[in-house]
Every structure is written in structure tokens, then in C-alpha cells.
Amino acid sequence: MARPLLVLDHVDKRYDAGEISVLALHDVNLQITRGEYVAVMGASGSGKSTLMNILGCLDLPTRGRYILSGTNVQGLDDTDLAAVRNRLIGFVFQSFNLIPRTVALRNVELPMVYAGIKPRERTARAMAALEAVGLANRAQHKPSELSGGQQQRVAVARAIVTDPAIVLADEPTGNLDSKSTGEMLDLFDRLHQSGRTIVLITHEPDVAARASRVVRLSDGRIVSDDLQVARGSV
Amino acid sequence: MNLFESTRIAWQGLLGNKLRSLLTMLGILIGVGSVIVLVAVGNGSSVKVQKQIEGLGTNTLVVLRSFGGRGGFGGGGRATNGTLSSVSALTQKDITALSDKTQNPDLKLIAPVISENGVTATYSGATYSPSQFVGTTADYLSVRDYTVAEGAAFTNEDVTNRARVALLGQTVVTNLFGAQNPVGATVQFNGIDFKVSGVLTPKGSNGAQDQDDIVIAPITAVQDTLAGASAPLSQITIEATSRSAMSAASDEITTTLLGTHHITNASSADFQVLNQATLLATAGSTNQVFTVLLGAVAAISLLVGGIGVMNIMLVTVTERTREIGIRKAIGARRSDILGQFLVEAVLLSVLGGLLGVAAGLIVSKVRIVGVTPVVAWYSVALAFGVAIAVGLFFGLYPANRAASLRPIEALRHE
């Protein structure tokens, strides 16, 4: 097996809220290799979102190590974490999270703005990403002028435009109808086939069924980690 | 991320809430505009007073009686006109002494003045009380820059002959004669006939005093009739030979009058010599205070405008918490968010400031309470500079608050 892209090594995450202390993740070990399509499943409160935050470098583990693409995330300051998120991670959120009143093209360009890429190159790459999700003809539309499915595809375009090491999708189909869900999952399949590493967090079994590997969480621990032959993939 | 990108994003933020942005700018606009206008009004009134003082005649000195030096009024006496006996009056003797050219080479013209108060003029049923009734010599006209528009001035011969003639200012003419030509007519002053020899060229109101509300008659005739033969002089009006001779002239007057009044110690002089320079200095310092006060009031409104910027920026940051979370998630650094909101606040204050400068300059074209504002360029630069500083200062706290938001919590914000 190739060198893992992502390593969680005995990771704990503890939240302190006044008197009460909650252990949201407990001794989590996870390795993900380049090109994998991993679904993380679990009931609500199982620690999915906490795991997502840690994988996405939005939060740091209380204990343990997280190594992403050779970088030990532990001990990075805010500015470095922002740079890691910018270069290595592409987020897709349940509620789309596009910038309102800003056209699709500008939304897709945004990560490159923070990366300091020149405007001309930015626009070209953003158009290419929109093309990849089939929305090139909606580039000048604002989020309020797009359907939920279209908004989420814009979000996917934004996630892949910087060519990140990993695409992190948190319940990406949670706010979509079944038709859009199908299209979204097809899109993820295509991204997977083109070699992208995808971590998808979901509680829906039929969404997880499309992934090549399913990790199940319960009470902050990994309870199973199975490879599967995904339906619909090659 | 460079400044250009920050500005572009901040500009989009402002456009997202046009009305709110405009109202916030209005606060700064009013602040900057009022600083410019009010300082211009203060400035204008100061220029106006200076012109008035210069209008007194460029080389003019005025000698007045003074009670300060003797200090004899402290006890029981009151400083009324009835108790002037301890102070030597200004008399014809002083005029004679001042007219000695060898002792006073820098004095060109010397005009004694008796001012009568409460004189009522009557002409065929019309009555009017001029605010100034001056008995003097022919030289007074030239010292005070009066010229005669119609008729003729009285001469020193008229003064010697005690001729009962009078020169009327335009305001007096209008009130007594209306549109009629007054030259040659006979007017009664407190019942005594004076023939109108001429009308003075209007000098216009100088704000403090209507310079055309005046009657000028020979001093001898006034002593004979209204004032009484032994009436002391109200003042002596003197023209120096040149502007540069003013202080020499002032010294000569002091020396001469100390001699005629038999005073050895100059600090106990019973007269004072005023010239334009001292009047200008006094008026200047008064106006300085006035301008500073106006500026301070305006500066407060600029401060209030700044608080408006801060208020709206805090609202904006709260409203856009989720957007801040998204930006942070996709790689915006603390400094990027700080820059974006700081630039937004500064844009508000810079745009408001520019509009305020424009508004201030336009309003300064208009006469305000009788004063033509004179824009002080330092106030424009200062007001605009302070507006930017206000934007930076009041934008810093909200921007910092936005920048310190934790991405997870910001993303969860509804």
C-alpha cells in the first residue's frame, strides 16, 4: 500500500463546557490513501462532525497526531491552519455555504483569491471547475438564482478548484431532493474516478453505499472500517 | 491577499446594503462638511472684522480718555461721566501740542472729535436719530476715509467761522429725505438749524456699525449749540504719515500728552492710544476662540459619525458571521478578514469624507448669517484626514472581532 495521505494517530477530542467535559472522539486511528473514496457513517452524536472538523483542520485534536499530506497539523497556528485549509482541503457543506450576493464564478474563485493567484488564471481555473460540474452556463448567476442541486455543484467546483489533497464533504446531500442527490453522487463518482480523494460524511446508507470504503463511528470510536465494491463505480 | 482584493470584497459588501452604507456615510459627510463650513464661517467673520478695522483708515490712531492709570475710582466713586474731574479731559490744548510738527514729525493730520449722543434730526415732519453725531474738523474726513458724493465738504474756514453746516451719511439721508436731494436743505438737530452742505459717499455697513448712519458737523458749531463751549473732546483721531511710522507716532502722542497732562509716570497715563494693530490683535484673538469653538462643535459631529461607522460595522460583522466562517474554512487568514472589514469601514469614511468635502465647499459658497465663509484649506485636509482616522479607529474593533471568530462556530451561526 502507498504512503497514506492522511493519518489520524490515537486522536482524542474533548470539549469542555463549564463543569461538563465531553469526549467527542476517543482513540481514533484512521489512515486514508490517495484516491480513496471513504464514507464516514454514524448516528447523530457519534462524533462525525467532530471528526470532520479535525480532518478539515477547523479544529485541533486534544490528544494524538493528525498528519495530512506529510504535515503534522498539531502545533500549527491560525495562519498556518488557514493555509493548510486553503491548499490541501476542499470543503462541501450540507447547507452549500456559498457567499450570498456573489456570482457562482466569484464564489469558485474565492479560495484562489486567498491563495494569491492572479485574476486571469483564477477566472480560467474557476471556469474549468464549473465546467467539470456541468455549470459553466451558470457562471454569472448568484446563489439565490440557482437551485439547491446547482448551488451544491458550485460548492463542489469551489472545493476542487485549488486541486486539494482531499475533498471533505459533510452531509452534501442532506438538503437535496432525491434527483439532485443522485446527480451529486454521480458527480462524486466521477471525481473519484478522476483520482480525487474524497471523505464523505453521511448518515444515509444508500449514500455511503457509493463509496469504496465505509468507516462507522459510534460514541466517538471507530466501530468498523470496511472496504466495499461500490455500486455504480467501475 | 493584497489591498486591491480587500477593497473589491469590501466594496461588494457595501453594495450589498446600499441604503445602510449611504446612511452611515451621511454621518461622516455631515461631520466633515460641518467642520469645513463652520471653520470657514469663523474664518470669514475674522476676515470681515479685519476688513472693518482696516476700513477705519490704514494709518489711523485714536486717543481716548482712560481711567485705568489713576485707580482713584476704586473707593466710593462710580465711574460715571459726572466724576471725571480727577482725569484730565482731552482739550484743545492737547490738539495744539500735538500739532507741533517739530515735536511730532510722524503725525500728518489731527482731528479733534466731540461725539454727541441722542441727537434727533428733524426735517419737514420726518425725524431720525443718527447713531453718530460727530463734531470735528475738516481733516476728520480724510483720516476716516470719508468722501463727499454730493454737495461739498465743510472746510477749515467753516470751522473757524463756526458755520452751522452738516454732512449727512446715506442712511440719515434716506430716513429724513427719502429720495429727495438734501443738499442745501436745512435740518434741525435737537431744534437747531444746520444747513446740509453735502452727502457722504456710502461706505456700507461694517457689521458692528453702519458707517453711513452719521452726521458730521464743524466742531465749533457743535460746541456752540449741542455740546456746550467747555465740552471736552470725546477722542482725538490722528493719521500718521505712513504705516511704518505708526509706532513712532504712537510714542510721540504719548510723550506729548503726558507733557500736557503733567504726568511723569507713563503707567499712570489718563489716556490711551489705540491703533489698528492693537485692534486687529484683539479682534484676531477673539475670532480665534470663536473659530476653535465652531470647529470643536463640528469635530464632535465627526466623532458621532465615527460611532455610526462602528455601530454599522458591528451589525455587519454579526450579520455576516456565517460568511466569515465560510471564508475562513476555505483559507482566509485572520489578516484577510481583518483587512476586509477594516477596508470596508475606511471605505465608508473615505467616501463619506469626500462627499463631505464636496458638500462643505458647496455650502461655503453661500452667505451664512451675514458672513461670507472663507474656506480654510487646512480644515479641509484636517477634516478629511480625521474622517479616515475615525474610520480606521472605529473600524478596528469590529474588524478584529470578525477576524477572531472561530470558523466552526461562525459556520454554525444562523
Residues of chain A with pLDDT under 70: 1-2, 230-234
Distance, in Å, from the CA atom of B412 to the CA atom of B401, rounded to the nearest integer, reads 17
Note whether residue A15 is domain-resident: no
Note whether residue A30 is domain-resident: no
Note whether residue A232 is domain-resident: no
Hey, how many other C-beta atoms are within 10 angstroms of the C-beta on B338? 20
Interface of A with B in 37-76 (CB under 8 A): 53, 56, 58-59
According to DSSP, the β-strands at B235-240 and B107-116 are antiparallel
Q: What are the backbone angles phi and psi of residue B193, rounded to the nearest 5°?
A: -75, 130
Residue A214: give the domain boundaries: 35-60+78-227
CATH classification at residue A49: 3.40.50.300
Domain chopping of chain B, boundaries: 3-52+282-412, 59-275
Asked if the Cβ–Cβ distance from B332 to A82 is below 8 Å, we say yes
| Stretch B66-85: mean pLDDT | 44
Give the total number of structural domains in chain A.
Answer: 1
User: How do residues B290-317 score in pLDDT, each as one tens digit?
Assistant: 888 988 888 899 899 999 999 999 999 9
Distance, in Å, from the CA atom of B64 to the CA atom of B272, rounded to the nearest integer, reads 5
User: How do residues A60-100 score in pLDDT, each as one tens digit?
Assistant: 999 999 999 888 998 889 999 999 999 999 999 999 999 98
Confirm or reject contact between A81 and chain B (CB < 8 A): no
pLDDT at position B72: 39
Best of B2, B18, B327, B330 to substitute, by most chain A Cβ atoms within 10 angstroms, is: B330
| Predicted TM-score (pTM) of this structure | 0.72
- Torsion on CA atoms B23, B26, B28, B31, rounded to nearest 10: -140
Q: What are the backbone angles phi and psi of residue B385, rounded to the nearest 5°?
A: -60, -45
Tell me which of B145 and B134 has the higher pLDDT: B134
Question: Among B327, B328, B408, whose Cβ lies nearest the Cβ of A53?
Answer: B408
Confirm or reject contact between A91 and chain B (CB < 8 A): yes
CB B203 within 8 A of CB B55: yes
Burial A158-183 (b: 16+ CB within 10 A, else e): bbbbbebbbbbbbbbbbbbeeebbeb
| Stretch B148-172: mean pLDDT | 89
Tell me which of A231 and B332 has the higher pLDDT: B332
Asked if the Cβ–Cβ distance from B407 to A58 is below 8 Å, we say yes
Note whether residue A213 is domain-resident: yes
Note whether residue A72 is domain-resident: no
User: For chain B, what percent of residues have pLDDT higher than 70?
Assistant: 93
User: For chain B, what percent of residues have pLDDT higher than 90?
Assistant: 33
Radius of gyration of chain A (CA): 17
